[in-house]
């Protein structure tokens, strides 16, 4: 922590602050400037009392941290980017860009299998689909639950794609982990620390969406909760934040994704579907995401979006998704990246 003394602080005031810093278990180092003095307090904050209350001392101007609050996920402490192995040939965070695609909600076996095979043939390397849906209205479709998980299992067998699905509550961990290769923590649970720790304990890679009103620091600290629990495999996902704008469902914050890439060692994905809430913006936003250095995309695809039970206005039909991936290739090349190799259909 840095304690900045007021310009009129006396030598006695400075000595007194140094003593209080010592009393709290830290080593004070005073630096005397032309105008004011700062006292650097060195020590481990996780085992000592907080220094922030020193701002109440009349001779202290302000107190602020010098170290980042996130340590395990920071690039400062771990300069190498983390590459997360999901399955054979599916590693997120390296040079290859991964496209994760599938329906917002699993609605039937037929639709999820059909979507899985179509997105695989178009170049997606993971299937996303919600069996448990956290819906804003309690009257909206809530997902098929365990039945939906069973359908995802069949879609995985039929398509060969690993599965990303959302965990909404601790009680579902057992059944969700039976089929999920990656656990998604959604925007609504992004700051549910007990759920983050329980998800971390499964040892599965966690796709952590940014909360719709989370600052970048809150998002990164949520990832730190997972890492502190002993699970280093966190994939960050920017999915738009709530702003005053009404033309889009959320405001896709690409700058936050850039900051997350700079500040953390973790892979960062972009979800333009929830980010914009409009099918007609998914293509341009995906290109922008690749250009800014994202490690992948999460895109909602439905065989017939007009009939979707959730998020119909932001889902692409498979043919449009295939066009999107095709159009992405030059942008991927220009970014010095490659598209992850296509997953082969299982041999029967
Ligand atoms: C979803 O992925 O379908 C979803 C509910 O996303 P978010 O948590 O970003 O709203
Ligand atoms: Mn959705």
Give the tokens for residue 2. 């840095």
pLDDT at 110: 98
Instruction: Among the bound ligands, name the one nearest to the CA of residue 277.
Output: 2
Return phi, psi of residue 231, to 5°. -115, 105
| Whole-number pLDDT of residue 46 | 78
Token match 């996130």: residue?
70
How many angstroms does the Cα of residue 201 sit away from the middle of ligand 2?
26
Please give the distance, rounded to the nearest whole angstrom, from the Cα atom of residue 38 to the centre of ligand 1. 45
Domains and CATH numbers, the chain: 2-64 (3.30.70.1140), 84-339 (3.20.20.70)
Does residue 173 contact residue 128 with C-beta atoms inside 8 Å? no
- Which ligand 1 atom is at minimum distance from the Cα of 271? 9
Per-residue pLDDT of the chain (348 residues; tens, 9 = 90+): 999 999 999 999 999 999 999 999 999 999 999 999 999 999 888 788 899 999 999 999 999 988 788 989 999 989 999 999 999 989 999 999 999 999 999 999 999 999 999 999 999 999 999 999 999 999 999 999 999 999 999 999 999 999 999 999 999 999 999 999 999 999 999 999 999 999 999 999 999 999 999 999 999 999 999 999 999 999 999 999 999 999 999 999 999 999 999 999 999 999 999 999 999 999 999 999 999 999 999 999 999 999 999 999 999 999 999 999 999 999 999 999 999 999 999 998
Q: Rounded to the nearest 10 degrees, how much is the dihedral formed by the CA atoms of 176, 177, 180, 186?
A: 60
278 CA to middle of ligand 1, Å?
14
Atom of ligand 1 nearest to the CA of 188: 8
Which is the closest atom of ligand 1 to the Cα of 209? Answer: 9
Residues lining ligand 1, CB < 6 A?
Answer: 104, 130, 134, 186-188, 209, 239, 274
Q: What is the pLDDT of residue 106?
A: 98
300 CA to centre of ligand 1 in angstroms? 10
Separation in Å, CA 307 to CA 48, 105, 150, 257, 283: 57, 12, 22, 32, 21
The residue nearest atom 4 of ligand 1, judged by CA position, is 186
Which ligand is closest to the CA of 164, given by its number? 1
């Amino acid at each position: 922590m840095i304690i900045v003394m007021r310009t009129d602080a006396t030598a006695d005031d400075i000595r007194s602050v140094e003593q209080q810093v010592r009393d709290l278990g830290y080593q004070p180092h005073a630096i005397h400037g032309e105008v004011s003095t700062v006292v650097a307090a060195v020590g481990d904050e996780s085992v000592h009392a907080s220094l922030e209350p020193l701002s109440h001392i009349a001779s202290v101007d302000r107190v602020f941290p010098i170290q980042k609050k996130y340590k395990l996920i920071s690039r400062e402490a771990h300069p190498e980017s983390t590459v997360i192995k999901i399955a054979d040939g599916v590693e997120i965070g390296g040079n290859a860009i991964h496209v994760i695609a599938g329906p917002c909600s699993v609605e039937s076996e037929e639709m999820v299998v059909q979507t899985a095979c179509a997105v695989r043939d178009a170049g997606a390397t993971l299937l996303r689909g919600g069996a448990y849906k956290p819906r804003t209205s309690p009257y909206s479709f809530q997902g098929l639950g365990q039945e939906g998980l069973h359908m995802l299992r069949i879609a995985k067998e039929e398509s060969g794609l690993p599965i990303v699905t959302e965990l909404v509550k601790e009680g579902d961990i057992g059944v969700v982990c039976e089929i999920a290769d990656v656990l998604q923590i959604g925007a609504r649970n992004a700051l549910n620390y007990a759920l983050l720790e329980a998800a971390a304990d499964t040892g599965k890679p966690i796709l952590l969406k940014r909360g719709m009103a989370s600052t970048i620091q809150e998002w990164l600290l949520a990832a730190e909760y997972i890492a502190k629990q002993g699970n280093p495999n966190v994939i960050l996902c920017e999915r738009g934040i709530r702003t005053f704008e009404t033309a889009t469902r959320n405001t896709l914050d690409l700058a936050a994704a850039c900051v997350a890439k700079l500040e953390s060692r973790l892979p960062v994905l972009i979800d333009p579907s929830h980010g914009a809430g409009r099918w007609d913006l998914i293509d341009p936003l995906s290109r922008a995401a690749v250009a800014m250095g994202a490690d992948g995309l999460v895109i909602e695809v439905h065989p017939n979006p007009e009939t979707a039970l959730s998020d119909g206005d932001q889902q692409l039909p498979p043919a449009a998704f295939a066009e999107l991936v095709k159009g992405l290739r030059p942008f991927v090349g220009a970014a010095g990246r490659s598209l992850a190799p296509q997953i082969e259909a299982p041999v029967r």
